Amino acid sequence: MPKKIYVGNLPFSATEESLRAHFAQHGEVHSVAIITDRDTGRSRGFGFVEMSDADAGNAIAALDQSELEGRSLKVNEAKPREDRRSGGGGRGGGGGQRW
């Protein structure tokens, strides 16, 4: 089963191909995704790489603090995504009737 790796501090000029090549030196890369801003389409400076469990451990150890296009990468195992649903709540604050 593939393991997801978080890659932070990506240069804005990095492409999925350049990130794949950077990680491929340490094993087979299953997928690469650079996260972009939904409004501008510009990179948000981080992404994810999926590799096999064994290859992922080697890649994390070797590539954390490595340099890509002049930037020092932050590489670690991705944490599960938090549930981003809001706490809800109604629209107003009760207050009763107005006199």
Q: What is the mean pLDDT of each run of 10 residues along the chain (99 residues)?
A: 95 96 96 96 96 95 96 95 67 59
Instruction: State residue 7's pLDDT score.
Output: 98
- Predicted local distance difference test score (pLDDT) of residue 81: 80
Does residue 49 fall inside a structural domain?
A: yes
43-52 and 29-36 strand pairing: antiparallel
Q: How many domains, in total, are found in the chain?
A: 1
Look up the pTM and report it.
Answer: 0.80
Residue 40 placed within a domain: yes
Written as six digits, the tokens of 41 are 């389409």
Task: Give the chain's largest Cα–Cα span.
Answer: 74
Query: How far, CA to CA in Å, does 70 sit from each of 32, 54, 95?
Result: 20, 28, 57
Q: Is residue 6 part of a domain?
A: yes
Hey, what are 55's tokens? 């290859």
Chain length of the chain: 99
Specify whether the CB–CB gap between 7 and 67 falls below 8 A. no
Expressed as residue numbers, the domain containing 30 is 2-77
